[in-house]
A = this chain, B = another copy of it.
Amino acid sequence: MTGTDEPDAPGESAKVPTDDVPGDWPVELAGVTESLVTTLGPNGRWNVAPLGLFADDPVTATTWGRTRTRRNVERTGEGYVQFVTDPVTFVDAALSIVEVDDPILERAHAWARVEFERTASGTEDGTEWVRWKLTPVESVVVSSGVPTLSRGLGAVVEASVAASRLDVPGYDDAACRRTIAHANDVVERAGSPREREAFDRLVAHVDAALELE
């Protein structure tokens, strides 16, 4: 990013940032909110990955294993947390390596530049986890709308979580596959075109991963 005070606006003029609240989150957090975080890699590009935000005080997030997100925040101490509900963007970030030139995703409804501070770590089922305290230092609301409930979107998210746990120690593979199958039923019955596209990509990512083994 060339200037955090003047974030590159995405292509559509309707999406020019409309609100700037330094030091605060751009959305109300409760329970766990699924976000995507961009972190700067050693190659100068921004890695995109899911990050669950725990609405503790302060907000925390946990990385599992030596992921790119963890390595990047260990090196840079920061990332851009984005609120994205586009199912295709979410699936790609959850199940493949996505790197972009600009830290702000085109589909972000809101984002926050966040400082990461390591507060705890441990090992579970052989995977080292690190808990981070997240402090927003800049935040922008890009677009808002009327919130609605979509079973298809929920199914895509749930299936992405399950797919990312396939063959991971500590998770029941059969249960993950049942979750994905149920989500497939929901998306076939109730999914929007974009949710169907996301599910197709999810299946492609999982197949690709299985073929690599």
Contact = CB atoms under 8 A, between A and B. Distances in A.
Contacts of A191: 31-32
A109 B146 contact: yes
B31 A190 contact: yes
Interface of A is mostly: mixed
Interface stretch (A128-136, A154-162, A202-210): A154-162
Interface residues of A, number: 46
B161 A151 contact: yes
Nearest to A143: B146
Contacts of A55: 192
The count of identical subunits is 2
Interface in A133-171: 141, 143-155, 157-158, 161
A31 B193 contact: yes
Interface string A46-72: 000000100100000000000000000
A52 B190 contact: yes
B31 A150 contact: yes
Interface of A: 26-28, 30-35, 52, 55, 83-85, 90, 109-110, 141, 143-155, 157-158, 161, 175, 178-179, 182, 186, 189-195
